[in-house]
Structure 1
Amino acid sequence: MHMADALVSPAVGGIMLAASAGAIAYSAYKCKDDLDEKKIPLMGVMGAVIFAGQMINFTIPGTGSSGHIGGGILLAALLGPFPAFLTLTAVLLIQALFFADGGLLALGANIWNLGFYACLLVYPFVFKPIVKKGLTPTRISVASVVSVILALTLGAISVVIQTLASGITELPMATFMGMMIPIHLAIGLVEGVVTGGILVFIYKMRPELLESSMDNKKLPKNLSIQKVLGVLLVFAVVVGGGLSLLASSNPDGLEWSMENVAGTAELEASGNAYDSAAGIQESTAFLPDYGFKSTDGEGSAAGTSVSGIIGAGITLILAGGTGYLIYAVKRRKEKTV
């Protein structure tokens, strides 16, 4: 559900960038109190996991469409809502800058649609109430499916509203909404099952991770999460470097909806704002569309694997570094008090 620049006007893109920047600033502020130093490396590793996971588009049977995970609920359940939002922001920023996945003008909208609803709205007000009476595999699974479906549906509705506000006449609201919601319900069901499976697996390894996020408490000082980190890191490498080659070639839910409404998944837009954003992205994206730059425009298996591994690595550094920086600032202020 990564929006391209052509789907938003400069005004809407600017408004959504400001809204997302505000959410990022607030999340960073809250992390000063909420971030557990033991979870800083987990921020980096989970960022790598989500980057790799988003490379795998799974087929939605009978539709000709595909979907990929958003990852917001998974991140929030393990990290807490505010570190999760910052981690997903890191994923989306790296995708846009280095892999030309999602437009720079639309970056604020993508952060809002994929991150805000899942991490800062649905997790605290839907996921947590479902599991508050006790963490069990069944409750975790149900909460995951319900929360992911709701978060993706809210994101899909936002996409439609943003295109309407941008004056994209090729995508009339009623028709576009009629395509976006059903396909993202189906995508959400698959992601919800996957999210639940991963969370149940981690819960059985280290239930303290989910409990600390749910209760907003720090992890015990003597608790080791090295095994969990190792398993997740291997998972990110295997998915990004290998399983990404098995991704469906079908258009994702947004592209599929656009094709059914407008007859194309690639709308055109012209103007200085669009040209500037495209120019910046062209200069920074060294692996566009998750492949090597080539004159024939066709990707390769090697390019996909390299993109998955490099992208996961950069995300690990940025997400983990963000957590470390926030924690370092917090410690410095504590020492000066």
Structure 2
Amino acid sequence: MSDALVSPPVFAVTGAVSLALLGAAIWKVKHTGSDSREPDGQNEHIVPLMGVMGAFIFAAQMINFSIPGTGSSGHLVGGILLSAILGPWAALITLASVLVLQCLVFADGGFMALGANILNMAVLSCLVAYPLLFRPLIKRNASPGRILAASMIASVVGLELGALAVTIETEASGITALPMGQFLLFMLPIHLFIGVGEGLATAAVIYVVQKYKPELLYGVRRERTPGKRRFGKVLAAISLAALLIGGSFSWIASSDPDGLEWSIEKTTGHAELETVPDGLHRKAAAIQEKTAVIPDYNTTFAGIIGSGAILLAVFGVSYLFRTGQKQG
């Protein structure tokens, strides 16, 4: 979402909710190491894994895939995939970190809308669709068909909930001319197609991980903890994949508007809306202008830079969590 869709009250509410849930996630990650009831309790590998998976998802999100017959495109959100590997709370922190980096460094998504974007993309997928749908549907050593079904259902529901939340937040803001009913009629179908694409991609990655590196999956690492050297090679491979995706495959990404932009254009006739010229919106735009050193990914190496930055940022923050675990 851009700031043009978000009013100050919606900014305050979504920001407060997202901050509260991120605070809870930080507490959970810090204390998982001492709680044997957690599926990844006493697992030292969660810290670096958050970093490399954050870099991987950042790179994957740069690849927009075209949706045939619509003139729109979609991209991977990654909440279900991150949760399947990191667990829901660590996945929330990781995906939120990606969204913060995209907002501040690349001006992708509004600064006032950051809380809403974290809520719509990270919270609804990691803390709602994953535990309520994916976890109950998936089983240990699940068949390809079950992996596909769980990934597809959870991804579609997560995306549809996010699309519904965007529509409600826009209507509650009341600063645009978007009629809620018409806007929703475009948002839900297009995000259904995007959710199908996300489900296919998620299922493919989870199937490969289960087949070749099952110790990467959430809840399996404690039972099948790999050696440090072996796990280090896995982390290096994921990091390399993120850099390759961000540096090469992002060039072939679709230039079609994404699902939200497409829905706005179909509803209003314009792909982008003008930001309301009030004081808070101006301040938010000024902050983002100062922090966005690579606005709109306007460099060939944006994918590599972003992947490297999120790797360092998530690993650095996660290291603080590990330090807290050791002291506790």
TM range (shorter): over 0.9
Counterpart in the other structure of 1:25: 23
Shift of 1:142: 1.6
Query: What's the Cα RMSD here?
Result: 1.5
Counterpart in the other structure of 1:69: 76
C-alpha separation in 2, matches of 1:205 and 1:34: 26
TM-score calculated relative to the size of structure 2: 0.93
Counterpart in the other structure of 1:99: 106
Counterpart in the other structure of 1:263: 269
Counterpart in the other structure of 1:308: 303
C-alpha separation in 2, matches of 1:123 and 1:323: 22
Are the equivalent residues in 2 in contact too, given 1:149–1:189 (CA < 8 A)? yes
Counterpart in the other structure of 2:36: none
Deviates more, 1:196-205 or 1:244-253: 196-205
Deviations 1:146-197 (A, max 9, x none): 1111100000000000000000441111100000000000001011101111
Counterpart in the other structure of 1:331: 326
Between Structure 1 and Structure 2, how many residues are aligned? 317
Deviates more, 1:151-160 or 1:322-331: 322-331
Identity of aligned residues (%): 48
Are the equivalent residues in 2 in contact too, given 1:7–1:166 (CA < 8 A)? yes
C-alpha separation in 1, matches of 2:317 and 2:224: 19
Deviations 1:74-100 (A, max 9, x none): 100000000100000110000000000
Are the equivalent residues in 2 in contact too, given 1:128–1:214 (CA < 8 A)? no
Counterparts in 2 of 1:210-225, with a 5 A limit?
210=217, 213-214=218-219, 217=222, 220=225, 222=227, 224-225=230-231
Deviates more, 1:305-314 or 1:222-231: 222-231
Shift of 1:231: 2.5
Please tell me the residue identity of whatever aligns with 1:73: I
- Pairing 1:287–2:294 present: yes
Residue 288 and residue 14 in structure 1: after superposition, are their counterparts in 2 closer, same or farther (change >3 A)? same
Counterpart in the other structure of 1:242: 248
Question: Secondary structure of 2:85's match?
Answer: helix
Runs of at least 5 residues in structure 2 that lack an aligned partner in the other structure: 34-42
Counterparts in 2 of 1:42-57, with a 5 A limit?
42-57=49-64
Counterparts in 2 of 1:194-233, with a 5 A limit?
194-210=201-217, 213-214=218-219, 217=222, 220=225, 222=227, 224-233=230-239
C-alpha separation in 2, matches of 1:81 and 1:24: 11
Question: Secondary structure of 1:59's match?
Answer: strand
Please tell me the residue identity of whatever aligns with 2:8: P
Are the equivalent residues in 2 in contact too, given 1:16–1:108 (CA < 8 A)? yes
Are the equivalent residues in 1 in contact too, given 2:5–2:176 (CA < 8 A)? no
Residue 74 and residue 181 in structure 1: after superposition, are their counterparts in 2 closer, same or farther (change >3 A)? same
Q: Which of the numbers 145, 153, 156 marks the counterpart of 2:163?
A: 156
Counterpart in the other structure of 2:91: 84
Residue 234 and residue 287 in structure 1: after superposition, are their counterparts in 2 closer, same or farther (change >3 A)? same
C-alpha separation in 1, matches of 2:261 and 2:311: 28
C-alpha separation in 2, matches of 1:100 and 1:108: 15
Residue 219 and residue 134 in structure 1: after superposition, are their counterparts in 2 closer, same or farther (change >3 A)? closer
Shift of 1:32: 1.9
